[in-house]
């Protein structure tokens, strides 16, 4: 169990240059030691509603003492229940959430919103839930090939969308000490700027607020094709460079370091996720028949 303490943090979100509304949301709750970014999918089919349900469910359930993974599963159920109350809705959301204690972090995620660790050197500690990331993890393709792969924006997991989705959150825990920082972000950031650029901005700016604003500005300057949301947790230290902290992955695989470009849009993500599920179902039927 994490003993929380007040940690400096800052979060912000922007709708971007191409979208008329913002389906992202974030939470910074130092009293609970809870921080998250949720990225709604479904476009005008209420993606922003799904993201807000995920945020509010996690804040309530973690506040009542539930573990982070259980709270994420409950948020999936809450979005599905809201879908049942609506007509023709396939809304869903990603989430990346962190609980911060006095000397450790506990991060869980579903989808392609990411978590990074920064201590003078940047390291991605989450892994995108999509088939392309799985191929990179297996060594089937390189990170460079993943960046231009036609299915790089297909989600293999999302909260909500369909009862048929098997939600299995990734999880990672690690040390979190003075001078360490965590970045939580939607793909509106990582689709526009590289990890190298993220590290440069984190090193250049002195405070979490300046770092968040610098990252969002860089994404907007690079095109701002999607909503972009960033949360930075922890005060910057006098790092000499070089990662000094270890991390152990629980319920997931090692992090994948790949920069994706040219987002296909949130509506496309839902359609591709449903298409992937349909293809799996057809293959299963074919095996049974033949």
Max mean pLDDT among 52-56, 257-261, 267-271 falls in: 52-56
**pLDDT at residue 146, as a whole number:** 74
* Domain layout of the chain by residue ranges: 9-283
Q: Is the pLDDT of residue 274 over 80?
A: no
Q: How far apart are CA 47 and CA 232, in angstroms?
A: 24
Max mean pLDDT among 135-149, 207-221, 225-239 falls in: 207-221
**pLDDT at residue 195, as a whole number:** 93
Q: What is the pLDDT of residues 83-93, one digit of tens each?
A: 999 888 889 99
**pLDDT at residue 150, as a whole number:** 73
- Residues 69-85 have a mean pLDDT of 96
Tell me which architecture the domain covering 9-283 has in CATH: 4-Layer Sandwich (3.60)
- Residues 97-123 have a mean pLDDT of 96
| Sign of the alpha-carbon torsion through 152, 158, 161, 165 | positive
- pTM value is 0.82
Q: What is the pLDDT of residues 121-165, one digit of tens each?
A: 999 999 998 877 778 788 888 877 777 777 767 788 999 989 998
Q: Higher pLDDT residue, 12 or 3?
A: 12
């Amino acid at each position: 169990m994490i003993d929380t303490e007040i940690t400096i943090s800052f979060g912000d979100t922007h709708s971007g240059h191409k979208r008329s509304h913002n389906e992202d949301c974030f939470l910074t709750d130092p009293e609970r030691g809870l921080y998250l970014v949720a990225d709604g999918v479904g476009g005008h089919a209420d993606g922003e509603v799904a993201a807000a349900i995920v945020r509010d469910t996690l804040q309530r359930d973690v506040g009542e003492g539930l573990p982070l993974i259980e709270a994420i599963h409950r948020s999936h159920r809450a979005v599905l229940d809201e879908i049942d109350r609506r007509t023709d809705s396939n809304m869903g959301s990603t989430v990346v959430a962190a609980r911060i204690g006095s000397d450790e972090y506990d991060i869980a995620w579903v989808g392609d919103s990411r978590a990074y660790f920064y201590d003078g050197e940047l390291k991605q500690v989450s892994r995108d839930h999509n088939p392309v990331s799985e191929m990179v993890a297996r060594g089937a393709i390189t990170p460079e090939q993943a960046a231009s792969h036609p299915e790089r924006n297909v989600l293999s997991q999302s909260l909500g969308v369909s009862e048929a989705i098997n939600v299995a959150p990734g999880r990672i825990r690690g040390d979190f000490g003075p001078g360490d920082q965590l970045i939580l972000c939607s793909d509106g950031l990582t689709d526009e700027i590289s990890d190298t650029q993220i590290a440069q901005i984190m090193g250049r700016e002195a405070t979490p607020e300046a770092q968040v604003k610098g990252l969002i500005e860089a994404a907007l300057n690079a095109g701002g094709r999607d909503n972009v949301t960033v949360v930075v947790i922890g005060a910057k230290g006098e790092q000499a460079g070089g990662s000094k902290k270890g991390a152990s992955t629980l319920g997931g695989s090692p992090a994948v370091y790949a920069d994706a470009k040219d987002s296909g849009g949130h509506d496309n993500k839902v359609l591709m996720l449903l298409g992937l599920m349909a293809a799996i179902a057809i293959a299963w039927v074919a095996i049974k028949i033949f």
